[in-house]
Chains A and B, each alone.
Chain A
Amino acid sequence: MSNPAITPELIAKHGLSPEEYEKVLSILGREPSFEELGVFSVMWSEHCSYKNSRPELRKFPTTGPSVLVKAGEENAGVIDIGDGWAVAFKIESHNHPSAVEPFQGAATGVGGIIRDIFTMGARPVFLMDSLRFGSIEGDSEQAKTNRRLFAGVVAGIAHYGNCIGLPTIAGEVYFDESYSGNPLVNAFCLGILRHDQIARGAAEGIGNPVFYVGAETGRDGLAGAAFASRELTEESKADRPAVQVGDPFREKLLLEACLELLATDAVAGIQDMGAAGLTCSTCETASRGGTGVEIDIQLVPQRAKGQTPYEVLLSESQERMLVIVKKGREDVVKRIFEKWDLPYAEIGKVTDDGMMRVRKGNDVVVNVPARSLADDGPLYSREAAPFTPPAQLDLDTVPQADPETALPKLLAHPSIASKRWVWRQYDHMVRTGTAVLPGSDAAVFIVREANKILAAATDCNAIYCKLDPSVGARIAVAECARNLACSGAVPIGVTDNLNFGNPHKPENFYQLRAAVEGISEGCRAFGVPVTGGNVSLYNESPAGAIDPTPTISMVGTIADADHITTQAFKEAGDQIYLLGEIGSELGASHYLLAIHGRKEGAPPVLDFDKEIAIHNALLGVIRKGLVRSAHDCSEGGIAVAIAESCFGNSLGASIEFGATNDRPDVVLFNETQGRIVISVKASDAVALEKELSATGVPFRKIGEVKAKAELSLKTGTNSYSWSVASLNETFEESIPKLMES
């Protein structure tokens, strides 16, 4: 069995440009072996090296007094939460695999992000996800495909998360034509650890043994690989699965075994095998340690026969870790991995020559400087197209829709409608920490062992991002922070998943750059670092690129259990207040999209100072025990926000906005930023007004919670009313009806 010769066609098939290949030649001082070609091609791919986006990502603020491990250092960032405890969290995408096989694509996406967390030494405690699909309404072939993708992705996440025993406690699901054919699956995981438990992925200690632990290696993920060393017959094609299958049970064992192993002092370094599998973990650990790593491919546990070194090195089989063990402590690995019934093998050692060296028995098939592979990949500054911000929406071109019918229609829009169909399939209570179940603004999780209360939210309004990426990205950060404030939490860190189209197209690259700059501005304004994240490019089909979608996930802490706040109105007689302005910006709104079929207009203005002042004012009155519910205004405007607040406890509300020159649909459905609807006990109203007046933020009383489950909204001289039960049914039944058809 001999390898193919290195030809320009082979190099091109590996995705390396002629210039990149020249760089390989100059690094090695010779032609690469076939295996080395494969190794460079995968390490220098966009997916692994971020070569098209790294220069932009450097703009993120990543430092701060609470940052213990910063973005880019390790697999996930780590933030201090006090009393010697810390959290490790990150979000990652698995978009393209989910388009091919939604169940396994989503499942393995969840598996991958969980490994990134426990490889840091943290025990994973909860998950979130941000999902996007094309429209699921109607009977077109595309709609049917979108429904199948949606069902498959949710089932895959449920399968993996439930089996491994991690609650999925929050998320978002959006439906928009731009995602047809390009679903987005972004999975977030957070883990908890003590400062002294932080584990690093560096190959430290010359002579230390290198262990492979976890599932056996197969040919997973190699369908996309350019070549193997034998002919691609029909038979061999069948040997190369197009999709990886996740085994959450194996990962549960791996998680427990690794945490048990890390609790001993036998580990010098640990790294999960994710994208680019064994190759990536080997060269990255060597690079971080400033050392070299030598492994023998024949010692790697394998589940398929006759795999070549190329195949083993590039395989993306799941549920595997690389562990650098302190010399003399090999028996600890044996004991623990035999207890948990997992494959393990000593496959190599740490050297002092800075090389990633792979042997097949006595033959050396790869001998490359680790740093060149891991850190010195090519970097590109792509061209960004000049951008003209969209014009303000001309209201005269928007016929006024009757709010009586518009509100139910908005509540039925799958992007706004209840996602219960989704989260009822997730075990969101395992680990007994979920204090606020899905369905409120932010999830709240109590970490028993640390006695800490965490809150988390994930947001991105891609309509805003499409129309003005810079504004949309800033709003994504602000909206996350607003959701955290509504739950009583203060933000501590951000992780981002940048989902964009082909970066070679200047208009797409502009979107990436503008989004990064917008996120950076937002994080600086809120004083939170970006701890890490993920970039997913080339999300496009012949129909075009997806709307730019920089998904933001933000984590916060709540000082006291008494501060935990949820969005549902609590009791009749409570007074309802609006923090912020009534607003009038209808541009880029869901009302415009869902009712008038238009995606246009400048997105609402975001003023960080005003936004932060409102969040702080809310947190202030929450801490004084004055707030019974808090819900922010976002898609669908204040009418949707108030309706949603009625649903939780089947209460009604009577709201009056006062005299105005604005049309009713403008008042009820505008998406002006920095607005939060709160309710307080009638007896606390005076105290609340006193506290809020002292902060200087705009606020006004707008109404009262009613026992009779009817929602009535009055703006100017126009009055509208709806049965809450009827609105709730529309809200709850929208997605189940579409999915059961």
Chain B
Amino acid sequence: MAPIMKVAVIQFPGSNCDTDCQAALLSFPGVEAEIVWHKETSLAGYDAVVLPGGFSYGDYLRCGSIARFSPIMGAVRAAADAGVLVLGICNGFQILCEAGLLPGTLLRNNGLLFRCEHLHLRVENTDTPFTSVLHKGQVLDIPIAHGEGNYFADPETLAQIEANGQVLVRYCDASGNVTPEANPNGSLGNIAGICSHGRNVFGLMPHPERVCDPLLGGSEGRGIFQSMIEAVAQAKAK
């Protein structure tokens, strides 16, 4: 029986959250998730691509700066252009920005220290294949773990992203207020995750795959993956 969603989880040298993403995806009935080595050049047959978290190439030079030249990135770009869902988590988000598949860049946390903790995100836009099962203003408890998560874009780009509804999640407090205190890294506008103009590429710094199991701190990450499953199902139904 064909899977309802077949996902490629890209493994770069230094990716650490690849098996975590795979396990989270496999917890959804009917989903297939395969680890794809970065030297492959084709993503044919996959409904979605995930660039997982970790320290690809040790985060040397700049985070994601070397991974963006991996052979697989040609296929990732082609998939993005073709409307395939591309999700970049943490280091994955950094790679998508370095590759120009998402605007802006991630700088060093303004507090200069690596931060790993649970925090809250407010859902800003549910008109995307990654957030459709959520509701606008919903507050999600999703952890971060990064040293370079400070989102930056020049004022023009930032204005465009905001105007186009490309900001999908922002850091907020438990009640959903977007405040400076709730911002763990100095990101402009408390931006935690953005999508492409075409809506099918989404990058976020927090780790939804770490909250897909109540035993491991919660299930509030499941909504993002569930939205993807529904989007793929709808596309196939057409």
Contacts and interface: CB of A to CB of B under 8 A. Distances in A.
Whether A and B touch directly in their complex, counting CB atoms under 8 A apart, is answered as yes
Given A341-B13, A432-B23, A249 B60 contact: yes
B145 A430 contact: yes
Given A249-B59, A427-B116, 10 more contacts: A248-B55, A249-B55, A252-B13, A252-B55, A339-B39, A424-B113, A429-B116, A429-B207, A430-B17, A431-B16
A340 B210 contact: no
B210 A424 contact: no
Nearest to A429: B210
B16 to A, nearest CB: 3
Contacts of B147: 162
Contact of B209 (A249, A426, A432): A432
B116 A425 contact: yes
B145 A253 contact: no
Interface residues of B, number: 33
Nearest to A248: B58
A518 interface: no
A446 B210 CA distance: 13
B16 A252 contact: yes
B145 A249 contact: no
B23 A427 contact: no
A448 interface: yes
Contacts of A354: none
Interface stretch (B78-86, B149-157, B188-196, B211-219): B211-219
Interface in A243-293: 247-250, 252-253
B14 A448 contact: no
A561 interface: yes
A336 interface: no
Interface of B: 13-14, 16-17, 19-20, 23-24, 37, 39, 53-55, 57-60, 113-117, 143, 145, 147, 207, 209-210, 212-213, 215-217
A505 to B, nearest CB: 40
A434 interface: yes
B114 A432 contact: no
A429 B143 CA distance: 9
Given A425-B115, A431-B20, A253 B14 contact: yes
A714 interface: no
Given A429-B116, A430-B16, A432-B209, A165 B55 contact: yes
Contacts of A648: none
A424 B16 contact: no
A448 B22 CA distance: 12
Interface of A: 158, 162-165, 247-250, 252-253, 339-341, 423-435, 437, 446, 448, 561
B213 A432 contact: yes
A561 B213 CA distance: 13
Nearest to A448: B23
Q: Choose among A162, A164, A426, A435 the residue with the greatest number of B CB atoms under 10 Å from its CB.
A: A162
A195 B16 CA distance: 25
Given A163-B14, A249-B14, A252-B16, A429 B58 contact: no
A446 B16 contact: no
B54 to A, nearest CB: 6
A435 B60 CA distance: 31
Contacts of A162: 55, 114, 145, 147
- The 6 nearest A-B residue pairs measured at CB: A165-B16, A249-B58, A427-B145, A163-B55, A432-B20, A427-B116
Nearest to B112: A155
A424 B14 CA distance: 21
Nearest to A151: B113
Kindly name the residue among B145, B207, B212, B213 whose own CB sees the greatest number of chain A CB atoms within 10 A. B145
B50 to A, nearest CB: 14
A165 B210 CA distance: 14
Nearest to B16: A165
Contacts of B14: 163, 249, 252-253
Contacts of B23: 432, 448
Given A253-B13, A435-B216, A425 B114 contact: yes
Given A432-B209, A437-B217, A561-B215, A424 B20 contact: no
Interface hub of A247, A248, A432 (most chain B Cβ within 10 A): A432
B109 to A, nearest CB: 11
Contacts of A426: 114, 116
A432 B210 contact: yes
A339 B13 CA distance: 10
A298 to B, nearest CB: 29
A263 to B, nearest CB: 15
B209 to A, nearest CB: 7
A446 B114 contact: no
Nearest to A154: B113
B51 to A, nearest CB: 15
A248 B13 CA distance: 12
A117 B156 CA distance: 51
Nearest to A163: B55
B58 A163 contact: yes
Nearest to A453: B215
Given A163-B14, A248-B58, A427 B114 contact: yes
A163 B17 CA distance: 11
A158 B146 CA distance: 11
B116 A424 contact: yes
Contacts of A163: 14, 55, 58-59
30 contacts: A158-B114, A162-B114, A162-B147, A163-B14, A163-B55, A164-B55, A165-B54, A165-B55, A248-B55, A249-B13, A249-B55, A249-B59, A250-B58, A252-B58, A339-B39, A341-B13, A423-B116, A424-B116, A425-B114, A425-B115, A425-B116, A426-B116, A427-B145, A429-B116, A429-B143, A430-B16, A430-B17, A430-B53, A432-B20, A433-B216
A60 to B, nearest CB: 35
Given A249-B58, A427-B145, A432-B20, A446 B216 contact: yes
B114 A429 contact: no
A424 B216 contact: no
A33 B212 CA distance: 62
B13 A434 contact: no
Contacts of B54: 165
Contacts of B212: 432
A165 B14 CA distance: 8
B63 to A, nearest CB: 11
A249 B212 CA distance: 28
